[in-house]
Structure formats: structure tokens, C-alpha cells
Amino acid sequence: MPRSLRVMSFLLSVLLMFLFIWLLGFVLDDIGDLQGPDWNAVLAEHEDPALRARAQELASTIAEIQWRVSRQEQLQQEQRRSMDNARGTMQQMMELQRLSLEQGAPPSEVEKDALAQAQQRFLDAQESYETANAEIAAANETVYRLSQEQKAVADTLEQQEDPARDDFNAQLRAHRLQVASWKLAFIVPLFLLAAWLFSRHRGSAYRSILLAALAATFWKVGGVMFDHFPREYFKYIAIVAAIVIVLAFLVWLLRKAARPGRDLLLTRYREAYRGHVCPVCAYPIARGPLRFAVWTRKGPRSGGNGNEVLSAQDAAADAPYACPSCGTSLFSTCGNCSSLRHTLLPYCEHCGDERAEEPIGAVS
Ligand SMILES: [Zn+2]
Ligand SMILES: [Zn+2]
């Protein structure tokens, strides 16, 4: 595959993984929206409804009385203003009368009336003011009494709230556990399916799609565990998973280093057969016409004038052959066509039959 195509397919696979993560996130969010316990409903089961009604009644009564008190205080301010006005008028009238008396003239009837009216207004306002004062004092007394009762009721309600809170917390825990199980029931099978598909089709051209799905589901499994398992469990789960992954990777690397892959071995065997030496111990294969050859550093060189031994050589070439040095079977009978084939190469040179088992990997 050209380099640009490889980079492109890698980027698209990463994009695909993020899209998978996104999609799984939507589904998991919808599962998380399952209806949880209702605090008000749980509370209503545990507290006395009459007491709750009384508390509300007290609160509204107190609020109404306080509203009335503030109204009375407003009226008092108005009365204080009209008292001040009346007092001012009275002082002016008295001043006028004093001036008239000094000049020897008695005050007129109009002046007398005006003074009397001002006095009356002052007295009326003062009386209203005093009445308002008394009402405010009485209302404050009532509010104090009601507040005492309100406090007692609130204390009782609070005591009844404790078991309600315990009950609610228990229901909430059960609900979270349920949500977590639903999420895991959704994501874990997907993860296992992706893992199975990936391991089955590891050699396929579409493996990067499966790898993207595997990575996305693995990521979401971790996310669900992180969200729903208590932190102290999650850290163990996470570290164990990380160790398993790293170990698997390390084992794979070590195995690859210790045992070369099939392709590498095959190349080595092929070269050895072509050079007419044992692929395992490099001892010369003295078989058929090569029986009389002399091995130089460049390979076998024909020894004698072979014509008179040709028939004997042909006969020997058809016999199974094992390396005289290490005992590895190098030529054996084909199970399919009964001709002689290269034991360590995958195909029979006569019938093209592919060996079912792997003789290559068996030699270490
Ligand atoms: Zn050998
Ligand atoms: Zn064959």
C-alpha cells in the first residue's frame, strides 16, 4: 500500500473510532436518563401530612400578619406627617391670636375655628397613631407565638426527614446500580463481539475498522466503570486492565523476537534448499546427482563424469532423505500424490498440495 493511502486510512480509522465513541455515548446517555427515585414522593411517605399542612398554614399566617404590620407602619408614617402639619397650623394660629391680643383686639371667630380644627386634626391623628401602635404590638406578639409553634413543627418534620433521607439514598443507590448494569449489559457484549471479530479477522484488509470498533467499545467500558464503580474498586480494575494489556503486548513482542515469523523461516528454508544445504544445520544435502558433488564455499560443484552412474542417481533421487547430521527430514513422501516433496516447504512440487500442518513452526 502506498504511504499516502496508509496515512489516509489510519486517519479515517481514528475518525471512525471517535464517531463510534460518540454514538455509544449517546446510547449510554439515554440509558442513564432512566427515571430515578422522587425525593418528594419518598418524603411524603415518611412525614405526617397534617404536620406538613400545619407548617404551610403557619408560614402563610405569619407572612400575612407581617404584611399587615408593615401596612400599619406605613399608615403611622402618614399620621405622623399629618400630626406635624396640624401642629404647625396650631402654632401659627396661636401666634396670630397672641399678636391680636397684644394689639388689644380679640381674635375673630374664623381664627378661633381654625385653631379648634387644627387641634381636632392633631388629636385625631394622634389617636390613630396610638391605635396603630397597639395593633402592631399585638400582631408582633401573635407572630412570636406562631413562630414558636412553627419552630416546633419544623423540628418534628426534620426528625421525620431523617429516615426519609436514608430511604431515598438507598433507592438512589439501587437506581444507580440498575443504570450501571443496563449500561454494562449494553456495552460489554459489544466489546466482546468487537474483540472476537478482530481476533478472527486480524489478517483481513478491513481489520482497522474492527480495531476502531474495539478501541471505541473498550474506551466506553472503561468510562462506564469509571462513572459507576466506587473509586476504590475502579482504580484496581483500571490498573489490572492496564497490566493485562501491557503484559499481552510484551508477551507478543517477546514471542516474536524468540520465534521468527513464518515468512522469515520460509525464506531461510527456501534459501537453504536452493543452496543444497540442510535448512536446520547447514550440512550439505548429498542427494541424487549431488551425491558425488564436492562442496565449495559457493555451493556444490559436480565431481565426476556422471554418465555411468545416472541410473543409480535417478533411483536415489526418489528416495526419502533426512539430514545425516541433525536428522531433520528434508524430503519425504507426499500424502497426496506419493511423490517425493520438500519436507520443510509448504507445497508439493508434483501436485501443488499444501501441507495442512505447519512443519515450519514445529522446528525451533
Ligand atoms: Zn541437518
Ligand atoms: Zn504431491
Residue 260: predicted pLDDT: 66
Q: What is the pLDDT of residues 122-143, one digit of tens each?
A: 999 899 999 999 999 999 999 9
Q: Where in the chain is the domain with CATH 1.10.287?
A: 39-176
More confident: 202 or 120: 120
Q: What is the pLDDT of residues 320-351, one digit of tens each?
A: 889 999 999 999 888 888 888 898 888 888 88
Q: What is the pLDDT of residues 50-90, one digit of tens each?
A: 988 999 999 999 999 999 999 999 999 999 999 999 899 88
Residue 317: predicted pLDDT: 60
Cα 20 to ligand 1 centroid, rounded to whole Å: 54
Pairing of strands 329-333, 321-322: antiparallel
Residue 46: predicted pLDDT: 86
In this predicted structure, the answer to whether residue 307 has a pLDDT above a threshold of 50 is no
Cα 273 to ligand 1 centroid, rounded to whole Å: 11
Q: What is the pLDDT of residues 168-206, one digit of tens each?
A: 999 998 998 889 889 989 999 999 999 899 888 877 888
Cα 271 to ligand 1 centroid, rounded to whole Å: 14
In this predicted structure, the answer to whether residue 313 has a pLDDT above a threshold of 60 is no
User: Over pLDDT 90: what percentage of the chain?
Assistant: 35
Cα 261 to ligand 2 centroid, rounded to whole Å: 25
Cα 300 to ligand 1 centroid, rounded to whole Å: 16
Q: How many CB atoms lie within 10 A of CB 188?
A: 14
333 beta partners? 340
Cα 342 to ligand 1 centroid, rounded to whole Å: 14
Cα 255 to ligand 1 centroid, rounded to whole Å: 25
Which cell numbers hold the place of 22?
460518540
More confident: 188 or 286: 188
Cα 328 to ligand 1 centroid, rounded to whole Å: 6
Q: What is the pLDDT of residues 214-266, one digit of tens each?
A: 999 999 988 888 888 777 777 787 788 889 989 988 998 888 777 767 777 88
Cα 345 to ligand 2 centroid, rounded to whole Å: 12
Residue 362: predicted pLDDT: 45
Cα 286 to ligand 2 centroid, rounded to whole Å: 22
Cα 355 to ligand 2 centroid, rounded to whole Å: 10
DSSP string for 297-327: TTEEE--S-GGGGHHHHHHHHTS-EE-TTT-
**39-176 in CATH: which number?**
1.10.287
Cα 265 to ligand 1 centroid, rounded to whole Å: 15
Cα 327 to ligand 2 centroid, rounded to whole Å: 22
Alpha helices in the chain (DSSP H): 3-32, 39-46, 49-102, 109-200, 207-228, 231-258, 262-274, 310-317, 359-362
Cα 235 to ligand 1 centroid, rounded to whole Å: 54
Cα 319 to ligand 2 centroid, rounded to whole Å: 14
Which amino acid belongs to residue 275? G
Q: Are the beta carbons of 305 and 317 closer than 8 angstroms?
A: no
Going by pLDDT thresholds of 50, 70 and 90, the confidence category of residue 364 is: very low
Residue 18: predicted pLDDT: 95
